[in-house]
Structure 1
């Protein structure tokens, strides 16, 4: 992910901002669900993982199958560029394990080219396609382009008014105007009304997008590390404490996707996150097995 990427992070304050006072109200609602936590990476087609988290003789056609043996979710970025056909959807379902979830990213023509306007047929095509994932469909996410501003809120609201309620949706905001004054709170109230979740992005160069506002019992976090810099681990530590607090308040579903500059090291940080989460939150999430570590991980 190039968004918010910095070469020099020595001056960055990586602390989490104060969470919204509205979170307690949102999470206090009675949700008849058990806690579900999904952790993954933004890609599975990484040849550098052969011999690391994939078998040494793994072929590219089997990468997803091996990925799903290690992780229980994927940030599905390929759908941003092409809507998958039925054959592709069926192949993906065959390759993954029980309980695995895909979180498909909305196609670029809908979000960036058309800016959510006049996209009814495209939305139907996309939603029909990902609905084919059935029990493997996690929360989809709509990444608003960097030129989609708060003044366009009425466009977003119109889009949500006609969005199919059966498709789980979360939204990532990028333009700085969403995070000024009370703009995001006004937006969050609309998301609550439509039962739409927020995406929280934690990246060095855009600390404003780290908004800490929850609008449903589901949350998607995109965590962008810096090549296993020591701050990657301290940031994860802070997130785990925050998540423990939110779980106790009533957060029921978490999607946590780990990005690294070239994503080769994403499994390493994912292992640290899962082990820390298991320890602090008393969970029993499966820990990916790394056969060869590029950098020694210090756990606690």
Structure 2
């Protein structure tokens, strides 16, 4: 059973007392949680040696998910981005075996178009066999055609909260990897999840992880709730 629990970024905002006092922020974070989602890569590139340093400073079983640059997803909108993709993959190769899923988050305005998506995913898979998850945010993505295309390229669809449509709360696409992104509800990026929600989430993750690697990333980071939610989830006994 593999369940990876972490937050979007490794800030210890309002939660520093829950982590060891010594070490860098990442080292302190990795002492309590077994995964993190690198979001800064969405806004700017990092040198390969930076990824190498991050990998070297964490335990052997720690894993990094990495968010694909917005230059690929939001600016070029999945078209003509081979140069940017090659750079991103070369840089993140610095994580070595600690590189986990690569996260493709799409802008809410990007509707599903089979030709555009198929060409992008084919190019993606020509360059990497890395585990990949995609978070669409337009309702057109939650139909069978989109699901089948993702599955054909071994790309898992994120299970998100809040969900743009009910099916967006459920995993989709390739079913050999499950990736939850919890943005906070009712107020995105701000609201904490209460204990009842975390208990239900634990039961769900335990069931999912019996057959596939399962990730749960808290993105309700604005006021530090993500860190406390991740720590609380780690403490709930698995069923």
In structure 1, what is the Cα distance between the partners aligned to 2:78 and 2:44? 17
1:135 matched to 2:97? The reply is: yes
The residue that corresponds to 1:257 in the other structure is 217
TM-score, length basis structure 2:
0.87
| Structure 1 residue runs without a partner (length 5+) | 1-34, 281-300
1:226-256, CA deviations, whole angstroms, 9 ceiling, x for partnerless residues? 5676x633222223333333334x2x21111
In structure 1, what is the Cα distance between the partners aligned to 2:13 and 2:202? 30
The residue that corresponds to 2:158 in the other structure is 199
Show the 5 A alignment for 1:1-300. 35-55=1-21, 62-150=24-112, 152-163=113-124, 164-179=127-142, 183=143, 185-203=144-162, 207=166, 209-213=168-172, 215-226=174-185, 232-248=194-210, 250=211, 252-276=212-236, 278-280=237-239
Q: How many residues align?
A: 233
What secondary structure does 1:51 align onto?
helix
What secondary structure does 2:26 align onto?
helix
- The structure carrying a bigger strand percent of its residues is 2
In structure 1, what is the Cα distance between the partners aligned to 2:164 and 2:134? 20
Structure 1 residues 50 and 268, CA gap change in structure 2 (3 angstroms): closer
Structure 1 residues 44 and 261, CA gap change in structure 2 (3 angstroms): closer
Q: What's the Cα RMSD here?
A: 2.2
Residue 127 of structure 1 contacts residue 167 of structure 1 at CA under 8 Å; is this kept in 2? Answer: no
Q: Which has the larger radius of gyration?
A: 1
1:9-54, CA deviations, whole angstroms, 9 ceiling, x for partnerless residues? xxxxxxxxxxxxxxxxxxxxxxxxxx32211011213443333324
Whose RCO is larger (CA < 8 A, sep 6+)?
1
